[in-house]
């Protein structure tokens, strides 16, 4: 079962058909962080070529995060005096390659799509890279992204700070307080306050303000909502700044995040941080000297001097080193495998 699951992740990524909000296809930092961790953790239960392939793909995806999703030199970066930032979603073409950052990503929950380019859409999702140990909390790509996140998505409420999912989100009540009806305006999510608390823990900052904020955002019965009201009060609808909006309540996802944040505070680390992933990377970007082509990601250009691995889906997998002119069957069925296409590849015994 693990072999098939790892094979599916390796063969389907680095993109997904939906992000974690079930909205947009492409490369998303939260989802990709989970996929990388899945490959590394799954590799603990594999052997031989299958294990090597899973770790090779994980390292490749991890090393490519900035190339794929970190934008530089945009008007927003210049306005905020940062080198760049991770974007919400990376749109892809049919070959799985990144399209232009200038291409628009449709926001489906607005009554009028603003046609914002991918480079102009920001989310909090890159924080998962720190939580899972793929990047350090003080990595410049992370700290610069946080400056942009806080500028666009953070709201200070009487209950404490809260963050929106992404800029121009339309999933929430309308400005007049009427409920979401397919369109609206996104509000602050206590869940994201918990995620920011986990980042604060990784950065060595005080976590208690985030715990206190999540508690203050809950209902009198202690139920944590999906969203809170984050603007002027509307008494006619019972909407009070920093308190539950008309969204789902309780949001079990948010309760789980609160429980993990409290547990992590006691443990001194994120308790859901995958152990093998942390041991492999410890926040350091891996150095690679190769490229991977296929099955789902098929780059059109390969830098000179790089080793090329070609991956494919086969019912019975085999690894091919063309320079040696031989093939070697593996014992692992239905998992994508890699074939080295460089003269520097050593022959397999």
Is 40:54 a contact under the CB 8 Å cutoff? yes
Predicted pLDDT of residue 312: 76
Mean pLDDT for the chain? 88
Predicted pLDDT of residue 106: 82
What average pLDDT does the segment 41-60 reach?
95
What average pLDDT does the segment 190-214 reach?
98
d(CA 160, CA 319): 55
Predicted pLDDT of residue 161: 98
d(CA 50, CA 331): 9
- Residue 316, pLDDT above cutoff 50: no
For helices 48-63 and 2-12, angle between their N-to-C axes, nearest 10 degrees: 40
What average pLDDT does the segment 155-170 reach?
97
pLDDT-based confidence at residue 348 (cuts at 50, 70, 90): very low
pLDDT digits (tens, 9 = 90+) for 16-29: 888 999 888 899 99
- Residue 334, pLDDT above cutoff 90: no
Is 242:160 a contact under the CB 8 Å cutoff? yes
Structural domains in the chain plus CATH codes: 64-281 (1.50.10.10), 299-340 (no CATH)
Q: Which two tokens stand for residue 88?
A: 């919400």
- Residue 320, pLDDT above cutoff 70: no
151 φ/ψ angles, rounded to the nearest 5 degrees: -70, -40
Of 9-23, 95-109, 274-288, which has the strongest mean pLDDT? 274-288
Predicted pLDDT of residue 300: 83
d(CA 258, CA 221): 15
pLDDT digits (tens, 9 = 90+) for 103-136: 878 898 998 888 889 999 999 999 999 999 999 9
């Amino acid at each position: 079962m693990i072999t098939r699951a790892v094979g599916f992740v390796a063969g389907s990524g680095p993109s997904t058909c939906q992000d974690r909000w079930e909205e947009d296809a492409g490369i998303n930092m939260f989802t990709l962080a989970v996929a990388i961790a899945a490959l590394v953790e799954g590799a603990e239960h594999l052997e031989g070529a299958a294990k090597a392939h899973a770790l090779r793909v994980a390292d490749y995806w991890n090393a490519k995060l900035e190339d794929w999703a970190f934008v530089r030199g945009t008007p927003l970066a210049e306005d905020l005096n940062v080198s760049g930032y991770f974007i919400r979603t990376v749109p892809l073409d049919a070959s799985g390659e990144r399209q232009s950052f200038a291409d628009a990503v449709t926001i489906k929950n607005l009554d009028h799509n603003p046609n914002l380019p991918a480079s102009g859409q920001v989310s909090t999702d890159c924080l998962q890279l720190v939580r899972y140990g793929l990047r350090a909390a003080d990595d410049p790509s992370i700290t610069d992204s946080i400056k942009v996140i806080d500028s666009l998505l953070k709201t200070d409420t009487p209950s404490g700070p809260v963050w929106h999912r992404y800029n121009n989100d339309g999933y929430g009540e309308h400005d007049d307080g009427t409920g979401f009806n397919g369109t609206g305006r996104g509000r602050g999510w206590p869940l994201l306050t918990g995620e920011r608390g986990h980042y604060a823990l990784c950065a060595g900052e005080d976590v208690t303000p985030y715990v206190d904020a999540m508690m203050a955002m809950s209902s009198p019965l202690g139920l944590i909502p999906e969203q809170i009201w984050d603007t002027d009060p509307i008494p006619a609808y019972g909407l009070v700044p920093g308190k539950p909006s008309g969204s789902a309540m309780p949001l079990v996802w948010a309760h789980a995040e609160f429980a993990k944040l409290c547990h992590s505070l006691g443990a001194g680390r994120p308790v859901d941080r995958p152990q093998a992933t942390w041991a492999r990377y410890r926040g350091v970007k891996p150095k690679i000297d190769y490229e991977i082509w296929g099955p789902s990601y098929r780059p059109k250009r390969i830098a000179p001097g790089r080793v090329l691995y070609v991956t494919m889906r086969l019912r019975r997998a085999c690894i091919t080193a063309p320079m040696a002119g031989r093939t070697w069957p593996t014992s692992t069925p239905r998992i994508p495998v890699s074939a080295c296409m460089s003269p520097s590849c050593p022959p397999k015994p």
